[in-house]
Amino acid sequence: MSFESLGLSAPILKAVAESGYDTPSPIQAEAIPAVMRRRDVMAAAQTGTGKTAAFTLPLLEQLSSEKPAPAKQCKVLILTPTRELAAQIKDNIAHYSKYLSVRTAVVFGGVKINPQITTLGRGCEILVATPGRLLDLHQQGAVKFDALQTLVLDEADRMLDMGFIHDIRRIVRVLPERRQTLMFSATFSAEIRKLAKTLVQDPIEVSVAPPNSTAEKVEQWICPVDKKRKPALLAHLINENGWHQVLVFSRTKHGANKLSRFLDEAGIPSAPIHGNKSQNARLRALADFKAGKIQALVATDIAARGIDISHLPHVVNVDLPNVAEDYVHRIGRTARAGASGSAVSLVSADEVDQLRDIERLIRQNLRREIVEGFDPQHALPESGSPVRRPSQGKPQRRRPTGNNNGNRAPGSGDRQPARRRRRPSNQRKANAG
C-alpha cells in the first residue's frame, strides 16, 4: 500500500515524500480512510506507529478544499495533555501542510496569553491546545467554536490520568453537537470507554498493538550497580559506546538537575527538563537536543511525555520508575517508526521490587550485564521468573549499539501503551497548560 492509494492530494503527498516516508504504517492505513470519510474513530496504537500523522494527514486533506475559518474560530480542535506534545503536533502539522494554505495555532499555559489571543483573533483552521489554557481563552472570548467540524482527543488515557476529565467535559459542552470526533489512546480502559460514550457516535475502532507491549526493536537490558555509582556508570556508558544522543530518565526533578550537572562536569553536554523549568527553557533544551547541541537530555516522566525525537537511539533509566507502566512509556521514546534502539536501566539493590513489577508487566526477564569496574557491593537480588526463558549465562560487557533506521512511516507525539493509573494529586496536571 502507498500513500497515494489512501486518496491524499498531491501537496500532502509531496510533503510526506520529502520526509522520506513511502509506506503508511498499519494505524495510518486503517485510520486515514475512516477519518477522510468523516467517521468517528477510536484508535489505539503502540509508540512509533505514526499515530499523529494518522489523524493529521486526513484532516489536512479535508481542510485543503475549504474556505478559511472566520476570526476567532477554528475548524479542527486537537486537545493534548502536555505543552510539549502540543508543540510537537503543531510542528508536524506545519511540515505536512507546507504546500497548503492551512493555518495552525497552538495554545498552552506557561507562556504569555496575549500573543495567543492575537493569533486566535485572526482565526485558524487547526487549533492545538491543552485543556486549561483553552478554557481560559474561551472564557475571555478569544476563541469560539461555531465553525468547529472535528474534535481530536490525543492521549486520552493520559489526560484522564492527569485529572483533565472535568476540563474535557467543560470544553465538550461548548462544542457543536454535530461534529466528527477522533479519540487516540494507548488503551481503551473502562474509563476511556465510559468517556467515549459521551463523545463519539458509531465509531470505527482501530487497534494495532496489544496493551503494555514494548517496542519490538528496542534492545533492553539492565546493569546492576550501587546507587551512588550510577552517575559515573552513565558517563562511562555514554563515552565507552560513543552515544551521541541519549535520553536519560530520573525519578525526581532534583535528581535530574544533579545528574545534568554531573554529566556537564564529565564533559558530556546535557540539560535537564522537568516541571520546574519554564516552558521556554524546556522547549530550548528539547530543540538543542534535537539539533545535537547537547548530548544527553535528563528528564522526569511527566516532562518527557510528548517528546518525539526521530531516530533517538538510546534511552537510559538511571532510576526505575515507581509505576511499572512508566517503564514501557520511557523506552517507547526510542525505536520509533521502524527504527531500532536500545534501553538500559541502571538498577540498584533497593529497586528490586520495581524491577519485578516491570518484568511481570512486560512478561520478560531483562538481561543483566555487570559493567567491568562497576561491580555492585550490594548485590541485586534475583527478580524472579515472570516468564520462562533460556539461561542468560554470565553477565557480559556491553558493546556499542548502533541504530538501524530502515524505512519509516510518519508520526509524532506517540506514546507507549500503558494501563491507566492515578497519580498523587500534586502530580496531576503538572507540565500541563
Highest mean pLDDT among 22-31, 70-79, 182-191, 300-309: 70-79
Average pLDDT for 255-273: 95
Do residues 161 and 253 both lie within one domain?
no
Would 384 be classed as within a structural domain? Answer: no
pLDDT of residue 25: 85
Does residue 213 fall inside a structural domain? no
pLDDT at position 28 over 70? yes
The answer to whether residue 418 scores a pLDDT higher than 60 is: no
Does one domain contain both 331 and 364?
yes
The rounded mean pLDDT for the chain is 83
- Is 310 in the same domain as 243? yes
Task: Judge if 163 and 254 occupy the same domain.
Answer: no
Residue 227 domain boundaries? 218-368
Look at residue 179 and tell me if it is in a domain: yes
Q: Do 203 and 309 belong to one domain?
A: no
Asked if 139 and 237 sit in the same domain, the reply is no
- Whole-model pTM? 0.63
What confidence tier does 47 reach under pLDDT thresholds 50, 70, 90?
Answer: low
CATH number at residue 184: 3.40.50.300
The pLDDT, as a whole number, for residue 339 is: 59
Q: Does residue 313 come out as left (phi exceeding 0), alpha (psi in the -120 to 50 range) or beta?
A: alpha
Asked whether residue 280 is assigned to any structural domain, the reply reads yes
pLDDT in the model for residue 336: 56
- Do 27 and 105 fall within a single domain? yes
For residues 171 and 396, the model is more confident at: 171
pLDDT value of residue 282 = 83
What does the pLDDT read at residue 400?
41
Q: Is the pLDDT of residue 132 over 70?
A: yes
Residue 403 lies in a domain: no
The answer to whether position 404 is within a domain reads no
- How would residue 277 be classed by pLDDT, with cut points 50, 70 and 90? confident
Say yes or no to pLDDT of 122 above 90: yes
pLDDT tens digit sequence for 49-96? 688 899 999 999 999 999 999 999 999 999 998 888 898 899 999 999
Q: At which of 165, 180, 207 does a domain end?
A: 207
306 pLDDT more than 90:
no
How many domains does the chain contain in total?
A: 2
Q: Which residue would you say has higher pLDDT here, 185 or 385?
A: 185
Predicted local distance difference test score (pLDDT) of residue 19:
77
Q: Are residues 224 and 193 in the same domain?
A: no
Examine residue 387 and state whether it is found in any structural domain, yes or no.
Answer: no
Residue finishing a domain among 176, 207, 238 = 207
Same domain, 152 and 299: no
Domain boundary among 322, 349, 368: 368
Q: Which of 160-169, 314-323, 387-396 is the most confident on average? A: 314-323
HEC per residue, the chain: CCCHHHCCCHHHHHHHHHCCCCCCCHHHHHHHHHHHCCCCEEEECCCCCCHHHHHHHHHHHHHCCCCCCCCCECCEEEECCCHHHHHHHHHHHHHHCCCCCCCEEEECCCCCCHHHHHHHHCCCCEEEECHHHHHHHHHCCCCECCCCCEEEEECHHHHHHCCCHHHHHHHHHCCCCCCEEEEEECCCCHHHHHHHCCCCCCCEEEECCCCCCCCCCEEEEEEECCHHHHHHHHHHHHHHHCCCCEEEECCCHHHHHHHHHHHHHCCCCEEEECCCCCHHHHHHHHHHHHCCCCCEEEECHHHHCCCCCCCCCEEEECCCCCCHHHHHHHHCCCCCCCCCEEEEEEECHHHHHHHHHHHHHHCCCCEECCCCCCCCCCCCCCCCCCCCCCCCCCCCCCCCCCCCCCCCCCCCCCCCCCCCCCCCCCCCCCCCC
Q: Which of 134-138, 263-267, 314-318, 386-390 has the lowest mean pLDDT?
A: 386-390
Residue 416 pLDDT > 80? no
Residues 71 and 201 in one domain: yes
DSSP bridge partners of 185: 44
Task: Identify whether residues 64 and 102 lie together within a single domain.
Answer: yes
Residues 118 and 153 in one domain: yes
261 lies in some domain: yes
Whether residue 262 is predicted with pLDDT greater than 90 in this model: the reply is: yes
